[in-house]
Amino acid sequence: MRKRRSYLASLVVTLTVMTVPVLSDQKQSSTQSPSELQAKSILKNMSECLAHADRFSVTIRDGYDLVQEPEQKIEFGELRLVTVSRPDRLRRFDRLRIEVERSDGKKDLVIFDGKDMTIYTANHNIYAVASRQGTLDQSIKYALDNLKIRMPLAVMFLSTLPSELDNLGVSADYVKKQL
């Protein structure tokens, strides 16, 4: 359990740091520092762990800016509790639960239970249900693409996380060992 928390914490930090596209693996390996090679190895192991985990949850503190007129930035913040459950011998369906509390006090809830996607806004007592059978990966992509739901670090919840990271072609660096 402690190892999994360490992996998850390191993954969030590493995903935040990764930003530089990489052209090819051969060219990249000759210019990578030992700490970058170590970071990529750790990232690969963490992505495999999350992609195959039956169940995990993560708390995300998220901040973002919106540009208002005239060129004024306003910062918003959110606290998200995300729980992912994949099928096993007891659960037949993928499940996803996202609880959001914004800095202005507004609360939202998104639930996918393998059959339906439910979205609830507590402050306005409004909810919507869309029939959405399929995998968790399909539902996350549907929520992002069709429903335009903000889902920071959504790639982290996909069962295809390891290949998604390979496709992103990113740079990483090992900063500090988690105790």
Number of domains composing the chain: 1
In a domain, 174, yes or no: no
In a domain, 178, yes or no: no
pLDDT over 80 (residue 18) = no
Domain containing residue 132 = 2-168
Condensed to tens digits (0 to 9), the pLDDT of residues 19-65 reads: 334 334 444 455 778 888 888 888 889 999 999 898 999 999 988 88
In a domain, 58, yes or no: yes
According to the model, what pLDDT value does residue 179 have? Answer: 64
Distance CA 14, CA 27 (A): 22
In a domain, 133, yes or no: yes
pLDDT over 50 (residue 11) = no
Distance CA 112, CA 96 (A): 5
DSSP-derived 3-state class of residue 103? coil
In a domain, 179, yes or no: no
pLDDT over 80 (residue 14) = no
Which helix H or strand E contains 4, and what residues bound it?
helix 2-17
